[in-house]
A and B are shown apart, each in its own frame.
Chain A
Amino acid sequence: MTRDHEHDHDHEDGYEDGLEDGYEDGHDQEHEGVRELLAAWAFGALQPGDERMVRPHLAECAGCAAEAARLRETVRLLDGPSSGVQPEGAPSEDSAVSLNGNAPARLPEAGGVLALALRSRRPAAASAPGIAPHAAPYAAAVSALQALLRELDGDDRHSAWGTPVVHDWDVHDTVAHLLAADEPLALRLGLDPCVPGTASPIGEDAGWADAWAVRTGEVIAHERRREARETVAVWAAQAAALLATPEARDPELASIATTLMGARLPVADHFTVRAFEVWIHTDDIGRALGLAVPPPPEPHLWRLVHLAVRILGTALGPDAPPVLFAVSGGAEEWVLGSEDEPVQAELVLDPVDFCLLVGGRYAPDEVPRGEAGDREAARNVLERAASLAWL
């Protein structure tokens, strides 16, 4: 629609009125065709073979010849003084490098440019020295949230920190929440709390969920009294400190199980849970700001999926009606629930959708899925998955 309009409009712009006068009908088609090609011709962007149509026409049509000369002169001036006339035809990208100043056609070493780029404010997450694979998803998720928050630094978006995100939190509050949410693991690994108050490594006591909610409220209230940028700096510093602990670097140390927020898991898995939560909230913030947050890179995504399936299996227990569960793109299938009965249903979910379900971002009946067999058995799995959401 828009495109057609654009096309029509061009013919109405009056520029070529007058130039077209005096041409016989038989000429018009060729004339129009060439006329449309003149800018591409001037840019050296014709299709092979078009030249055969253009050249003879220019020889006999003064209007087109004048237009062609004008357009090509414009391209010549665009080229600047040190380069000659634009070569005919289509130069390849490689030859484009050598068009001016005899620069070598070969790409200069990446080292200089990239080293400088990487030395800029953003540290590399994936290859951060010494980070063990179990902490890499968390490092990457932290890096992705920092990148997203950088979009709020611009002058015109000063109020963007107040954009409502989730629950009754704005962007600033959501970062404050993450500061609180990473705290139990930080304290368990021997770090000091960054915010005063009732900080504790929230563990196994039955009231962990309440304690966690209280602490989040406390931290958000505290952070609201300072600039969003300061909160981001404190959150990022705590994340960096977590990634600098021996447990983030040594898989053996990270294999020790500890109970945090009601879940007894190896420290390595607690790092995965942290990655999960940071990503889900980054996605929340991205949605609120209208910026599409891509899902974690495949290897990280699958780490999240595997942990979530394991936790889901445990939560369902050994007596639930068995369901054959698969995540699309993965090689594995799991029987969730009782192992003593025949499978009653099958479920297939996309890895991102499954994570969003477990993260509480999909209602169990709304999550896109492939489903077959007993509806009740399948629904039991989906509802249990959604109930895991502690984010």
Chain B
Amino acid sequence: MPVESTPDRTVRSVRPPADAELHRRLVYGDESALAEAYTAYGGLVRAVAARVTHSTAAAEDVAQEVFAQLWTRPYAFDARRGSLRTWLSMLAHRRAVDWVRSEARHRKDARADDSALHAIPDASPGPDETVVHRERSLQLHTALAELPQPQREVVHLAYFAGRTYRQAAVELGIPEGTAKTRLRTALRTLAETLAEPPDPALERGA
């Protein structure tokens, strides 16, 4: 007797992609799934955080936050709406930008205190050029974090994960031309933010 199968069943019996399977185990509290996610994406998460913060220690903190969030809030990731790689990369970037912004605010406060005391000269920020460059970088990363998600995904794959535009297109399931266009729109938007005045909250004190 032949056993016919309904379309529904055929679809579901397709082997689920690795992300969905990993997510399933994370949802059900399987800590070995967290270790696997770290093995697969820990390097990328640290690299993204290090690029933004320029600090190994901060990158460590960001990585820890990112994987703690993956563990405690697995439903924040939705396998239907993107890959775990880009999701973790974007989360790490967001957290790293937040870290640098709060760091910049602290530095500004500290400098304000210093000048009030007329005492300790500013020790940490190197030559002026470096400081300006750092502020430009933060300004750009802040703008990058605010790009629409479809553009951000391609930038993350191309810039942080080292994919070519073609590899990024395949990974995102989009046409190659779309990947190129998104990269271009994204990078132009970033270039335009450089024309804007820097974030007043981050301007150096005194």
Contacts and interface: CB of A to CB of B under 8 A. Distances in A.
B4 A372 contact: yes
Nearest to B166: A47
Nearest to A98: B47
B82 interface: no
Given A91-B162, A328-B9, A297 B25 contact: yes
B75 A151 contact: yes
A6 B184 CA distance: 12
Interface string B157-187: 0111111111110000011011011111111
B119 interface: no
Contacts of A92: 162
B190 interface: yes
* Most chain A CB atoms below 10 A, which of B2, B9, B190: B9
Contacts of A372: 1-4
B60 A36 contact: no
A348 B158 CA distance: 45
Interface residues of B, number: 88
Interface residues of A, number: 89
A281 B138 CA distance: 45
B4 A113 contact: no
B28 A114 contact: no
B181 A7 contact: yes
A116 B79 CA distance: 25
Interface stretch (A139-147, A160-168, A199-207): A139-147
A74 B187 CA distance: 8
A96 B44 contact: yes
A328 to B, nearest CB: 6
Interface stretch (A21-29, A102-110, A214-222): A102-110
A46 interface: yes
B106 interface: no
A341 B158 CA distance: 65
Interface string A99-138: 1110100011010111011101111111100000000000
Contacts of B177: 7, 36
A120 B71 contact: yes
Nearest to B176: A47
Nearest to A149: B75
Nearest to B187: A39
Contact of B73 (A36, A147, A368): A147
B75 A78 contact: no
A370 B43 contact: no
A92 B35 CA distance: 22
Contacts of B8: 350, 353, 368
B24 interface: yes
A329 B14 CA distance: 11
Given A78-B140, A101-B56, A346-B1, A107 B163 contact: no
Interface string B178-206: 10111111111011001000000000000
A275 B59 CA distance: 39
Interface string B127-163: 0011001101100110010000000000100111111
A80 interface: yes
B54 A100 contact: yes
Nearest to B50: A100
A38 interface: yes
B32 A368 contact: no
B112 interface: no
Nearest to B179: A40
A46 B6 contact: no
B178 A101 contact: no
Interface string B46-80: 11001110111001100110011011111110111
Contact of A96 (B13, B80, B162, B174): B162
Nearest to B185: A10
Contacts of B159: 43-45, 75, 78
A37 B64 contact: no
B12 interface: yes
A113 B60 CA distance: 7
Nearest to A324: B1
Contacts of B9: 328, 348-350, 353, 368-370
B190 A90 contact: no
B112 to A, nearest CB: 23
Contact of B28 (A71, A91, A143, A350): A143
Given A7-B181, A74-B190, A353-B12, 15 more contacts: A6-B178, A48-B164, A77-B137, A78-B190, A91-B162, A96-B43, A96-B44, A100-B50, A114-B35, A118-B31, A147-B72, A147-B75, A328-B13, A350-B12, A370-B3
Interface of A: 3, 6-7, 10, 15, 36-40, 42-48, 70-71, 73-75, 77-83, 90-97, 99-101, 103, 107-108, 110, 112-114, 116-118, 120-127, 139-141, 143-144, 147-148, 150-151, 291-297, 300, 328-329, 346, 348-350, 352-353, 368-373
A-B pairs, 6 with minimum CB distance: A125-B29, A143-B29, A45-B158, A294-B24, A80-B137, A368-B8
7 contacts: A74-B187, A113-B67, A117-B71, A297-B24, A350-B9, A368-B6, A370-B9
